Amino acid sequence: MIKKVLIANRGEIAVRIIRACRNMGIRSVAIYSVEDQESLHVKLADQRICIGEGPIRNSYLNKESIVTAAINIGADAIHPGFGFLSENPDFARLCQEHGIKFIGPQAEVMERMGDKSRARQTMKAAGVPIVPGTDGRLHDVENAVEAVKQIGYPVMIKASAGGGGKGMRVAHNENEFEQLFNIAQRESINAFGDDAMYLERYIVNPKHVEIQILADELGNITALGERDCSVQRSHQKLIEESPSPAINDVTRQAMNEAAIIAAQTVGYTNAGTIEFILDASGEFYFMEMNTRIQVEHGVTELVTGVDLIIEQIRVANGEPLSFQQKDIQWRGHAIECRINAEIPEKNFMPNPGLVEHIHVPAGNGVRVDSALYAGYRIPADYDSMIAKILVHAPTREAAILKMRSALDEMVIIGVETNLDFQYQLLRHPLFVEGRADTGFIERMMS
């Protein structure tokens, strides 16, 4: 039985996992870098241990140091959160080798689905619709130039090991393709240590809709419905909601079934997300699978009542899911806004610094996930997301009104944030009417 969980992450997701552990009577261990010693997750955990300073490769990406810390402090399991090592199969395998439960899928499954080109081949074989593109890994621009002749323009260049918008470029013609391929490949090498790329036909202004799945080690797989993540900038999501205003019940059912087939095909366990894109006609295509908990998992929690983090820990403990597919009912509408310490008017430039004062909204159907407090200095070393505001209401219209109210109430003094920008998005006609797509923000700001 899992009695102590080391959290291999920081910030609000670490705080979220600590709270879930408390609710289960499980002790939590926070790891932290020297720069993070005053962070909230460090203060809240039952135990804490410093694992390095300076670049993240010396701390939150140091697999050996994290596993050693878990062994020394007597942790039974490690929860990776999202980002950092959450989709690193070598880390999952290292945990297993030392008798520590990795709260996530098996390393082999992570490898299979984490390699985007390999995942495409797997989904294609399983009958899940995929965007036309290359099936193999591309390592040089010469082969890529030949491949794009079969796909046509515009084409999306993607890092095979990628995620979070890194190693991605769109080439609209042959004159820019070679340069953009080389740029994306260099980004992939720097971010993931991998030069493998693949190509997909670029679907102009698609919708981005993903399905949350949960699977236990006893063969039970459930789909918990969709999240619409179309509002994003530079491939980084800003607003997520459920249910999606872009699909009908027939498409919703088909997407849930495709997600379950995808999970069954690879023998998936724990929490995962199957990401799809929708074209203008409403056809959907597999894009990738995230083999971890998502930033936006709270949206699904609000409409289903399922605590995804607790279910993750139950699955890792060898227990069955606490529900079956027939038990899932979707109630009302949920919206999440990501609050970042950044300046939207300056191309979303990060704006770390001292939080002098903070007030968070509250009330029925309002949730704020954050690690901020007055007097906390946001470090410049990490992602700029500092909070997530979530609301739940009976209808989408009511949820939009509630989110506007929550954004208006939230106060952060000391650093600039995208609060006002999010408020503008919530009032934009395209968003209000449910017609925003992945190119919405770029067009809005041009």
Residues serving a catalytic function are 292
Amino acid identity, position 218: L
Cα 283 to Cα 126: distance, rounded to the nearest angstrom:
18
Q: At what angle do helices 107-114 and 116-126 cross, to 10 degrees?
A: 90
Under a CB-based contact definition with an 8 Å cutoff, are residues 48 and 29 in contact? yes
The count of other CB atoms within 10 Å of the CB of residue 301 is 22
Pair of tokens at residue 227: 């999240």
Cα 138 to Cα 92: distance, rounded to the nearest angstrom:
26
Beta bridge partners of 273: 212, 290
For strands 155-159 and 197-201, give the pairing: antiparallel
Q: At 25, give phi and psi (nearest 5°).
A: 70, 25
Helices within 161-237 (DSSP H only): 174-192
Pair of tokens at residue 298: 């709270």
Of the candidates 234, 256, 236, the one whose C-alpha atom is nearest the C-alpha of residue 244 is 256
Cα 239 to Cα 228: distance, rounded to the nearest angstrom:
8
Of the candidates 122, 138, 146, the one whose C-alpha atom is nearest the C-alpha of residue 194 is 138
Cα 27 to Cα 187: distance, rounded to the nearest angstrom:
38
Q: What is the arrangement of strands in the sheet containing 197-201, beginning at the earlier edge strand?
A: 168-171, 155-159, 197-201
Beta bridge partners of 387: 339, 370
